[in-house]
A = this chain, B = another copy of it.
Amino acid sequence: MSPTRRLVLHDVLAQHARARGAELAVGDGDVLLTWSELAERVDRCAGALRAEGVGRGDRVLWLGQNSFRVLELLLGCSRLGALFCAANWRQRAGELAFVVDDLTPAVLFTQAEEVGDEVAAGLSVADHRARTIRHDADGAEGYEAWCASAPAREIDDLTEPGDALLCTYTAAFDGRPNAAMLPHRAIVAQGLLMGPWMGVSARSRYLAAGPLFHVGVWMEGFATFLAGGANVFVRRSDGEALCRAIADFGCTSGYVVGPMVDAVVAANEGGRFDLSSMRGRRGHPAYDAWVGVDDSPWGRRPGGYGQTETMGMSTFALLSSADELGTHGRPSPLVQVRVVDPDGADVPVGETGEILVRGETVMCGYWNRPELNAVRSRGGWHHTNDLGCYEVDGSFSFVAPKGRMLKSGAENIYPEEVEQALRTHPAVAEVAVIGVPDEVWVQSVKAIVVRQAAATVTEAELIEHCRARIAGYKKPRTVVFVEALPRAGWQVDYAALDAAHGGGSYPGGNNRPV
């Protein structure tokens, strides 16, 4: 081993245990772990995973909601050079089964509370069988006993910074999601870059309130971890749980966005929780009065262009000034960003093309997708499948996904996934899904359906059909029946559908190419 070895995630844990062992690393309800305690638990967790046969390149899957054990298992996988994935627990059985069969984990962790039935249903239809541990069970079959019973063992420290660590499913443009594999170098670099911008320090206590299957939630979480601050977890973003966590742990910042703010406001009626440690302004008068202003550079100008495949942001609004033309700031110093035409040539300034990214924060590729990876990384550049342009002043604008995508809250919805679910209904002949503007959720999902001749299915029946097959936030809010879908050549004419049925508020604006 060379002294020039790059940092991997458990190196950071070791250093914090050395220099701030007695300080808080993790909070989660009644659980408080110092850096020393976390390091010791991760040692045992890695030993227990090793005893199950987990080694370099193997996968570990989490089928539960947020928990401090997610961070613990991630660090355990770091020790072993293994990959860790927290699945989207809002998915339905069939969707969960797809993830299990695609990822083929060596060990998987389940949760009984709230999601147990759906997880059990998913596992029962999955082909792949894996060693399964229930994380929220007490006694001999639970996570704690499993960790404690593993024999102590030396673990060879073979993890390399380029090794994939965090798998996150995304990009279901063709109806099937793909797991972006993010390596240590991407996680460490992005966290180190954003930490100072976010005002993160060893005194920070970050409320990782959003779902941990989102890179956006991890961005500040990793920055906080790297700086030696504490990560605070809540099982899901319930208003009362958020208020309690902020008040109990003195959280200084958090992933509290959109409807989560409303949930906090509703739960804190009368101001019975002290939220004054928190920084952030979210546009709700009551919330804004309870919390302090986030005066960090990122707090003043959050946003930019990013995707899961690049560990979040590749451009930052805070690198720009307010009077610049670009809507998405300027490129991160960690990457190069090009904009090219279909032949791969740079397009002139002001013209739209596909966004390419190369550098520190780019993923290793999608798990188990060699053909897609060859296409997406052709010529040595990550092809984002997104459209953008450089403006004449050198600033940057994201325009739209190349493929069709909808947005509900912070969740991406790929119409093809919803259309696939609807097509499995025998009464559906043809279907197209669009997004219509929604004041609270950005967009709501609308399905335009052509029924089979003589079929009589209703709107409510089709929505119910989807509810059983895809995550709740993906199901159509409304269904309209038409005689035929408009077409431009062979392709469904989505622009005409938007015009006819009130579509709009797409990510990147409505003028996206289709």
Interface positions of A (Cβ within 8 A of B): 1-7, 11-12, 14-15, 18-23, 162, 183, 185-186, 189, 192-193, 195-197, 201-202, 226-228, 297, 319, 330-331, 333-338, 346, 357-360, 362-364, 377, 380-382, 390, 394-396
Do residues B18 and A362 form an inter-chain contact, with CB atoms below 8 A? no
Closest to A363 in B: B4
Closest 9 CB pairs of A and B: A1-B380, A196-B196, A3-B382, A15-B336, A20-B394, A3-B377, A226-B333, A19-B394, A3-B362
Known: A18-B336, A319-B201. A6 touches B360 (CB 8 A): yes
Do residues B19 and A390 form an inter-chain contact, with CB atoms below 8 A? yes
Closest to A396 in B: B19
Distance in angstroms from A109 CB to nearest chain B CB is: 28
Closest to A315 in B: B19
Which residues of the partner chain B approach A362 to less than 8 Å between Cβ atoms? 3-4
Question: Which of A183, A186, A362 has most B Cβ within 10 Å?
Answer: A362
Which residues of the partner chain B approach A202 to less than 8 Å between Cβ atoms? 319, 330
Which residues of the partner chain B approach A3 to less than 8 Å between Cβ atoms? 357-358, 362, 377, 380-382
Q: How far is the CA of A335 from the CA of B192 in the complex (A)?
A: 12
Distance in angstroms from A273 CB to nearest chain B CB is: 27
Do residues A331 and B15 form an inter-chain contact, with CB atoms below 8 A? yes
Closest to A162 in B: B4
Contacts A19-B390, A19-B395, A192-B193 known; 8 new A-B pairs at CB < 8 A: A4-B362, A5-B380, A7-B334, A7-B359, A18-B336, A189-B189, A192-B333, A202-B319
Which residues of the partner chain B approach A395 to less than 8 Å between Cβ atoms? 19
Which residues of the partner chain B approach A363 to less than 8 Å between Cβ atoms? 4
Number of copies: 2
Do residues A297 and B20 form an inter-chain contact, with CB atoms below 8 A? no
Distance in angstroms from A513 CB to nearest chain B CB is: 23
From B11, B18, B227, B336, give the contact of A11 (CB < 8 A). Answer: B336
Do residues A394 and B192 form an inter-chain contact, with CB atoms below 8 A? no
Question: Which of A11, A22, A359 has most B Cβ within 10 Å?
Answer: A359
Q: How far is the CA of A21 from the CA of B395 in the complex (A)?
A: 11
Do residues B5 and A358 form an inter-chain contact, with CB atoms below 8 A? yes
Known: A3-B357, A319-B201, A333-B12. A196 touches B297 (CB 8 A): yes
Do residues A359 and B5 form an inter-chain contact, with CB atoms below 8 A? yes
Q: How far is the CA of A359 from the CA of B196 in the complex (A)?
A: 19
Q: How far is the CA of A360 from the CA of B5 in the complex (A)?
A: 7
Q: How far is the CA of A319 from the CA of B16 in the complex (A)?
A: 13
Q: How far is the CA of A202 from the CA of B316 in the complex (A)?
A: 13
Q: How far is the CA of A162 from the CA of B2 in the complex (A)?
A: 12
Q: How far is the CA of A43 from the CA of B168 in the complex (A)?
A: 40
Q: How far is the CA of A230 from the CA of B143 in the complex (A)?
A: 54
From B19, B21, B297, B319, give the contact of A330 (CB < 8 A). Answer: B19
Distance in angstroms from A305 CB to nearest chain B CB is: 13
Closest to A197 in B: B196
Q: How far is the CA of A2 from the CA of B377 in the complex (A)?
A: 7
Residue pairs across A and B with Cβ atoms less than 8 A apart, 12 shown, are A3-B381, A4-B162, A4-B382, A5-B380, A15-B331, A18-B336, A18-B337, A18-B346, A22-B394, A192-B192, A201-B319, A227-B333
Distance in angstroms from A141 CB to nearest chain B CB is: 37
Q: How far is the CA of A167 from the CA of B87 in the complex (A)?
A: 47
From B18, B197, B337, B394, give the contact of A21 (CB < 8 A). Answer: B394
Question: Which of A226, A330, A363, A396 has most B Cβ within 10 Å?
Answer: A330
Closest to A391 in B: B19
Do residues A394 and B23 form an inter-chain contact, with CB atoms below 8 A? yes
Which residues of the partner chain B approach A196 to less than 8 Å between Cβ atoms? 193, 196-197, 297
Which residues of the partner chain B approach A5 to less than 8 Å between Cβ atoms? 358-359, 380
Q: How far is the CA of A359 from the CA of B7 in the complex (A)?
A: 6
Which residues of the partner chain B approach A21 to less than 8 Å between Cβ atoms? 394
Which residues of the partner chain B approach A1 to less than 8 Å between Cβ atoms? 380
Distance in angstroms from A470 CB to nearest chain B CB is: 31
From B15, B22, B23, give the contact of A337 (CB < 8 A). Answer: B15
